[in-house]
């Protein structure tokens, strides 16, 4: 184990083991009786595992946003994933991590935020709740998202090509794609979901992420027709992204409250699609639950 991994927080239940890194408050390992369910961050493909996206989701046009007369730079998906969170508390099955505004964050995001990420493991479920608090005196725009990458294939002996994502509801609405600059393209594309199933194939991800705007479903399940499957609940997310790099051994199921800039849109931060606007003293939350479900 590396020196960085020495600081990871271990949670255990009767069914699952989860390891949380204070760097980015990132879920870094999720195991079922020793079998890895989460991507391992292999840098040959993608160094992430399950990053928290804050205070933006996706890419800004020109890498900057405008707030009143000033403009500020922010990298894709914001800065939280590269910051060390304080461990507020932990137990055998839960942990609470916190990131607060400081001199560095105020240079690129001029708001007195507090971001709490809580993890709670119970039997075969891991619940993650992210709470954004506005400790300032003015309205605070913010976006937040989850980006967990699951093994593809899962470690239950089924072939990669036999895996799919099944939605709770039919999803007939068109999807969005990104352009070459990582911005949401204006064109709409036919849904790739048929009879509630999204068949996973590398060719689907040549143009990057598949974006569902305001999906009907509040959960999906991922896996093969036989063997355990992973259910991801996202009760309050406005968007759902599904992404991999073609040929990679992971599939990301990403509930978001926020999205990349649309190509050609205004750089006004308060008008960014999906942006939450949090009043002084207020808070907003985004929930996700990952459950390992047994099937026949």
Question: What distance in Å separates the CA atoms of residue 181 and residue 25, rounded to the nearest whole number?
Answer: 28
Question: What distance in Å separates the CA atoms of residue 238 and residue 55, rounded to the nearest whole number?
Answer: 16
pLDDT at residue 1 above 60?
A: no
User: What is residue 292's predicted lDDT score, i.e. its pLDDT?
Assistant: 98
Average pLDDT over residues 92-106: 97
Average pLDDT over residues 242-257: 97
Domains present along the chain, CATH in parentheses: 5-293 (2.70.98.10)
Higher pLDDT, 3 or 148: 148
User: What is residue 66's predicted lDDT score, i.e. its pLDDT?
Assistant: 92
The size of the chain, in residues, is: 296
Question: What distance in Å separates the CA atoms of residue 155 and residue 36, rounded to the nearest whole number?
Answer: 7
User: What is residue 2's predicted lDDT score, i.e. its pLDDT?
Assistant: 58
User: What is residue 111's predicted lDDT score, i.e. its pLDDT?
Assistant: 98
Strands 210-213, 239-243: pairing kind = antiparallel
Share of the chain above pLDDT 70, in %: 97
- Cα 152–Cα 158–Cα 19 angle in degrees, nearest 5: 45
Distance of CA 70 to the CA centre of its chain: 29
Contacts for 292 with CB less than 8 Å, ≥ 6 apart: 15, 16, 32, 37, 124, 125, 228, 229, 230, 231
Question: What distance in Å separates the CA atoms of residue 242 and residue 289, rounded to the nearest whole number?
Answer: 16
Average pLDDT over residues 11-33: 97
Question: What distance in Å separates the CA atoms of residue 72 and residue 53, rounded to the nearest whole number?
Answer: 17
Question: What distance in Å separates the CA atoms of residue 54 and residue 57, rounded to the nearest whole number?
Answer: 7
Tell me the three state secondary structure of residue 99.
strand
Contacts for 46 with CB less than 8 Å, ≥ 6 apart: 39, 149, 245, 248, 250
DSSP designation for 13 = -
User: What is residue 4's predicted lDDT score, i.e. its pLDDT?
Assistant: 64
Give the pLDDT band (50/70/90) at residue 3.
Answer: low
Q: What is the mean pLDDT of the chain?
A: 95
Give the pLDDT band (50/70/90) at residue 192.
Answer: very high
User: What is residue 295's predicted lDDT score, i.e. its pLDDT?
Assistant: 66
pLDDT in tens, 54-71: 999 999 999 999 998 999
Contact 150, 159 (CB under 8 A): no
User: What is residue 264's predicted lDDT score, i.e. its pLDDT?
Assistant: 81
pLDDT at residue 280 above 80?
A: yes
Average pLDDT over residues 96-116: 97
User: What is residue 180's predicted lDDT score, i.e. its pLDDT?
Assistant: 93
């Amino acid at each position: 184990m590396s020196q960085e991994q020495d600081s990871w927080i271990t949670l255990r239940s009767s069914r699952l083991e989860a390891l949380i890194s204070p760097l980015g408050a990132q879920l870094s390992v999720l195991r079922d009786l020793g079998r890895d369910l989460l991507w391992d961050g292999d840098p040959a493909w993608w160094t992430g595992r399950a990053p928290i996206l804050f205070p933006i989701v996706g890419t800004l046009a020109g890498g900057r946003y405008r707030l009143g007369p000033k403009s500020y730079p922010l990298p894709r998906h914001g800065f939280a994933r590269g910051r060390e969170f304080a461990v507020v508390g932990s137990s055998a099955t839960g942990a609470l991590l916190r990131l607060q505004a400081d001199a560095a964050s105020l240079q690129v995001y001029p708001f007195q935020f507090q971001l709490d990420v809580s993890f709670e493991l119970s039997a075969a479920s891991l619940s993650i709740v992210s709470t954004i608090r506005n400790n300032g005196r003015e309205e605070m725009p913010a976006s937040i998202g989850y980006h967990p990458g699951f093994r593809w294939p899962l470690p239950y002996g089924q072939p990669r090509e036999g895996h799919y994502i099944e939605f709770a509801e039919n999803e007939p609405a068109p999807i969005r794609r990104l352009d070459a600059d990582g911005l949401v393209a204006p064109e709409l594309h036919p849904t790739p979901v048929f009879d509630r199933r999204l068949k996973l194939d590398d060719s689907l991800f040549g143009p990057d992420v598949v974006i569902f705007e305001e999906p009907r479903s509040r959960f999906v399940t991922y896996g093969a027709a036989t063997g355990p499957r992973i259910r991801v609940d996202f009760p309050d997310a406005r968007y759902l992204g599904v992404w991999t790099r073609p040929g990679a051994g992971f599939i990301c199921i990403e509930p978001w409250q926020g999205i990349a800039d649309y190509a050609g849109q205004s750089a006004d931060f308060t008008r960014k699609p999906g942006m939450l606007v949090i009043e002084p003293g207020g808070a907003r939350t985004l929930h996700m639950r990952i459950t390992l479900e047994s099937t026949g």
